[in-house]
Amino acid sequence: MVALQSRRDVSGSKRRAERAKELVEARVEAPSILRDHVASLCDHRPHNGTLWSTVADLGARRIAYAPGAPCRVPFQPVAWPSA
């Protein structure tokens, strides 16, 4: 996606990706990673905050959705889409 950013600053995206990688390597569960505020994975800035988050286990066919900042709104199970 970086190639599509043109001249936009991607340092924040890179910082979030690095933080997410650190947390994955530390074996932190996905919902907790998305609640992280250290690198603004969960963000509360006006007009630019986290609108929603989703976690999917493709092998188990499970999806959970948080309609808002995941540190404030719990993840809710969502039905797996049928073919």
Does residue 1 sit within a domain? no
- Give the mean pLDDT of 22-33: 96
Average pLDDT over the chain reads 91
| Tokens read off for 59 | 């092998």
Number of domains forming the structure of the chain: 1
Does residue 36 sit within a domain? yes
From the list 59, 58, 55, 52, the residue with the least C-alpha distance to 73 is 52
Q: What is the DSSP letter of 67?
A: S
Does residue 3 sit within a domain? no
Helix, strand or coil, per DSSP, at residue 75:
coil
DSSP one-letter string for 5-53? GTTS--HHHHHHHHHHHHHHHTT--HHHHHT-TTTTSS---TTTS---E
Does residue 53 sit within a domain? yes
Does residue 83 sit within a domain? no
Does residue 4 sit within a domain? no
Give the range of the structural domain holding residue 73, as residue numbers without chain letter.
Answer: 10-78
**pLDDT, position 65:** 95
* pTM listed for this prediction: 0.81
**pLDDT, position 12:** 86
pLDDT tens-digit readout, 39-74:
989 998 888 889 999 999 999 999 999 999 999 999
Does residue 51 sit within a domain? yes
